Amino acid sequence: MYDYVIIGAGSAGCVLANRLTEDPTIRVLLLEAGGPDKQKEFHIPAAFSTLFKSQHDWAYDTEEQSHLNHRKLYWPRGKVLGGSSSINIMIYIRGNRRDYDHWHDLGNEGWSFSEVLPYFRKAENQERGASEYHGVGGPLNVADLRYINPLSRVFVEAGVEIGLSRNVDFNGPEQEGVGFYQVTQKRGQRHSAAGAYLRPVLNRTNLTVLSHAHVTRLIVEKTRSVGVAYVRDGQPQQATVNREVILCGGAINSPQLLMLSGIGPADHLHTLGIPVVMDLPGVGQDLQDHLAIGVVYDCTQPISLASAGTVGDILSYLLFKKGPLTSNIAEAGAFIKTQSDLLAPDLQLGFVPVYFVDHGFTRLKGHGFSLGVALLRPQSSGHITLRSGDPFEPPAIQPNYLGREADGQALIEGLKICRRLVQAKSFDPFRGAERYPGPQVQSEDALSEYIRSLSQTVYHPVGTCKMGHDAMAVVDARLRVRGVTGLRVADASIMPALVGGNTNAPTIMIAEKAADLIRADA
């Protein structure tokens, strides 16, 4: 019998396991479907893409996207201690302060920017030191990159040349502008949620962590959640709980588990023969993600990251944790507005000083560089549904990318900005031929077709158990599942609207706040 069972040891689950077991009288069980993060590729920043489609990746595919030439898009998700924070690109971004004020304005008390900032600061160990916006002494290390490729410096100068403001801190007073990303790294290594929050407390006797434990359903008596069923080593097991089950399975698996347990849209559950425990039509709905497209150029000088991995680089990494292997690949970026009267940037750029096509699966020989643009606040949204009542069958993921025309138009504008940036003088000594989309792709129609045929996710699905008060809300502002006692969701799925930036730091903030809410309600 545990006080709390946490499902999923990802970005959110690791935070909650740590914070709830600070009280030695509280007993917590953390269940994770994946295994430990021992392999060296988890820790070497530049190696992240080697984990794609490995045993540590749920490696989902979306449904065919009718607005993307019927392609199915690959969605990596970490299946390992640390979850997606163990395979992500380590960019530390909180989003725009207006994102949280918007959450608050939707009726979610306690979630305005000024109310969530203390949780971002609490989580953080900012290597630059404390300030109004940054914390020190928190579990999650936030660092400047130890290595920056010369092409990334060229990118930042080119951005300034075309009129973007230089921004030395995207998480400071102003998000807009161009600059280098900070990363969740410690001493040149990835600092995942597992490294930051879980490993340091594994010796707590009140915390039990079980990896390779795949939760198959929640056990609910009438409308009270009393435990979970899971499979480990092929054996069905159960755990019972005194206080609460906390679902931290992420934006795909949290709604999947709710629906497998009879909590979700009644019509959908009926069609699959799953007995309805609570009719919550919003479970799995309101799926939003950042879709991205990019330009790729040859580089006329042999200075890209393609030459990383020499004996010297390996030694530099092994001995000093320095050099190109500490690069997170997407070293620099920008937040820009397509229209000057927008209140917050609607596009995010990411510069990669090497060829980067199709998540790194398409290999191009030689030296190049890539510049991606992601649409921060898409109007399109989709959903996650079950294919069957089998907990081991992946759910159907329908993001409905570019379902609204405005989204495609914004990406076309983004492509034009990327091209203009690469045409800046700073790139003159380095710019070779345009590989993607290629000089022949100029008209709006041609750019649109290029987006349909090559755009990809930048890995930020949210919203499928959204917080709120409307009929589609799944959890309330204290993250309690509506109509079911003893059950909360605390992960990226609760976001009532996608934030304008990367989603790891926001998810960690959500979990930090959830820990306080849970303790206050105990």
Interface pick for ligand FAD out of 492, 497, 498, 514 (rule CB under 6 A): 492
Q: Closest approach of Cβ 310 to ligand FAD, in Å?
A: 25
Residue 84 in contact with ligand FAD, rule: CB under 6 A: yes
* C-alpha to C-alpha distance for 460 and 465, rounded to whole angstroms: 14
- Residue 80 CB, nearest approach to ligand FAD (Å): 6
Binding residue for ligand FAD, selected from 45, 249, 345, 353, defined by CB under 6 A: 249
Check if 460 is active-site.
Answer: yes
Residue 179 engages ligand FAD in binding (rule: CB under 6 A) = no
Q: Which residue lies nearer to ligand FAD by CB, 386 or 505?
A: 505
- Could you identify the residue written with the tokens 């935070």? 15
Size of the site for ligand FAD (CB under 6 A): 41
Return the ∠ at Cα 143 (arms to 462 and 110), rounded to 5°: 40
Please state, in angstroms and rounded to a whole number, the distance separating the CA atoms of residues 127 and 92. Answer: 13
- Distance between CA atoms of residues 182 and 93, nearest Å: 8
Residue 284 touches ligand FAD, criterion: CB under 6 A = no
Task: Using the minimum distance from each CB to ligand FAD, give the nearer residue, 108 or 503.
Answer: 503
Residue 259 vs 424, nearer CB to ligand FAD: 259
Q: How far apart are CA 203 and CA 471, in angstroms?
A: 43
The nearer residue to ligand FAD, 253 or 288, going by C-beta atoms, is 253
Determine the residue with CB nearest ligand FAD. Answer: 10
Check residue 500 for interaction with ligand FAD (CB under 6 A): no
CB-based contact 477:110 (threshold 8 Å)? yes
Pairing of strands 124-126, 140-144: parallel
Show contacts of 357-362: CB within 8 Å, 24+ apart: 357/296, 357/436, 358/454, 358/456, 359/49, 359/52, 359/74, 359/76, 359/456, 360/49, 360/52, 361/52
- CA–CA separation, 184 vs 3, rounded Å? 31
Q: Which is nearer to ligand FAD, 41 or 161 (CB)?
A: 41
Q: Does 491 bind ligand FAD (CB under 6 A)?
A: yes
Q: How far is CA 473 from the centre of its chain?
A: 21
Given a contact cutoff of 8 angstroms between Cβ atoms, the answer to whether 84 and 459 are in contact is yes
Q: What track of x and - describes contact with ligand FAD for positions 10 through 29 (by CB under 6 A)?
A: xxxx----------------
Amino acid type, 24:
P
Q: What SS3 class is residue 142?
A: strand
Counting contacts by CB under 6 A, is residue 124 touching ligand FAD? no
Residues annotated catalytic, as ranges = 460
| Residue ranges that bind ligand FAD, judged by CB under 6 A | 7-13, 31-34, 76-79, 83-85, 87-91, 93, 214-215, 248-251, 253, 257, 459-460, 491-492, 502-505, 507
